[in-house]
Amino acid sequence: MSDHAETAPEPVQGSRTPLADEVAASHDAPAAAVGPRDLTAEQLAYRAGQRDMYRRLTTPRMTFWRAVCGVLWGVISVAFGIGAVYNMVEGNIGEIFFGIVLAALTGWYDYRIWTLKARRLWFII
């Protein structure tokens, strides 16, 4: 065998190969954000469609069941309010306070149902 066999040249201390330079550049500097100017119209439409699909899956919708629960909780809230006013006439301080608190809590839940903020719908008969 000859002494001049083909071997890879040894790297000089402090220098890197082109592939090593690419890897180092990708790890050293933060990745540049791809902005809207760098994308085609199809890529932008795809991204918008992905956001819309995620929003559709996670956003609650106004359904018949939500409307039924909203009406029911509205009636319960009004009933507690009427009970609080009736107890004002009777003069029962504890029951007045109890009726006002329950009317406020049920009214708040009814508001959350109608504004689509309530995740779980409670149906009480």
So what's the pLDDT on residue 29? 47
- Answer positive or negative: Cα dihedral of 94, 97, 100, 101: negative
Token duo for residue 70: 């909203």
Domain boundaries, the chain: 64-114
So what's the pLDDT on residue 120? 80
Name the DSSP class of 30. P
Average pLDDT over residues 96-124: 90
Q: Is 89 left (phi over 0), alpha (psi -120 to 50) or beta?
A: alpha
Q: What percent of the chain has pLDDT over 70?
A: 66
| Half-sphere exposure in the Cβ direction for 83 (13 Å, CA) | 16
So what's the pLDDT on residue 125? 65
For 61-74, write each residue's pLDDT tens digit: 788 988 999 999 99
